[in-house]
Amino acid sequence: EVQLVESGGGLVHPGGSLRLSCAASKFSFSSFSMNWVRQVPGRGLEWISFISSTSAMASYADSVQGRFTVSRDNTENKLYLQMNSLRVEDTAVYYCAREGTWITFGGQGTLVTVSS
Amino acid sequence: QTVVTQEPSVSVSPGGTVTITCALNSDSVSTSHFPSWFQQTPGQTPRTLIHSATTRSSGVPDRFSGSIVENKAALTITGAQADDECDYYCALYMGPGIRWRFGGGTKLTVL
C-alpha cells in the first residue's frame, strides 16, 4: 500500500509563499517519479508538477510554471513543492502522487488557501 | 490547448450498466496515453480503479472495467450499486512535458 502524507498547507496572502512536503512510506521512494496534483474544492483534478526519481527531470503545468518548484530528498523519502507568488486561484487541496505507468494517490492532501 | 472531456453527469439504476467516456479534443485516445480511471467520494482521496486502459487495480471489484472504444477511453460499471454514487475522473498520459491531463470529472447518480 502506498502511503503519502502531505503537509505544509495553510492560509497565505496573495503574493506569499508556502512550502509543501510529502512524506512517503511503504514503497521504494527513490525508484519512483512523483507528481503534485491539486483540486479546487468542489472542482476537478489538475496535474501541476512532475519530478523524476533522480531529480534529473522536472516539469510543470502552464498555470504554475515559473512560480512553483518541485524537489525531492531520496535520503529522507520526501517530496517538496515550493510555491511562490501565490494567487487566489491557487487555492486548492494539494496531493502528491506516485507515478509508475499510472498515478497513485496515497494521502489526504493538504489545503492551501490564498486569500487577503 | 489539449482538453480531456468526460460527461459531466450520468445516471444509472441500481443493478444497471453505465459507461463513462474520456476523449481528447486533439487526438484519439490510445494505449499510449495509459488511460486511468479514479473514483472519488466527497472529502476523500482519489482511488485508482483502472490503469493502462484495462487493468483493474488491486481490490477493485470486477464490476468496474476499462476499455478503449471509438477513440475514447471508457469506464463501464456493470451491476451498479448505491455506493458507486460519487465522482469519477480519467487521466491521460501526455508525454514528457505536461505529463498528465485529467478529465473534468463525471458525477454518477445511482437512482
pLDDT tens profile A23-55: 999 999 999 999 999 999 999 999 999 999 999
A116 interfacial to chain B (CB closer than 8 Å) = no
Spatial distance between the Cα atoms of B51 and A103, rounded to a whole number of angstroms? 8
Q: Find the CB nearest B100 among A35, A62, A95.
A: A35
Buried b (16+ CB within 10 A) or exposed e, A99-115: beebbbbbbebbebebe
Pairing of strands B36-40, B47-51: antiparallel
pLDDT score, position A90: 98
Integer-rounded Cα Rg, in Å, for chain A is: 13
Q: What is the DSSP letter of A31?
A: G
What confidence category does residue A100 fall into, taking pLDDT thresholds of 50, 70 and 90?
A: confident
Q: Which three cell numbers stand for residue A84?
A: 511562490
CB-CB neighbors (< 8 A) of B46 in chain A: 45, 95, 105
Chain-centroid distance of CA A76 in Å reads 16
Residue B80 and residue B18 in contact, taking contact as beta carbons nearer than 8 Å: yes
Do B48 and A105 lie within an 8 Å CB cutoff? yes
What confidence category does residue B97 fall into, taking pLDDT thresholds of 50, 70 and 90?
A: confident
Instruction: Report pLDDT digits (tens) over B37-55.
Output: 999 999 999 999 999 999 9
Q: Find the CB nearest B102 among A44, A101, A109.
A: A44
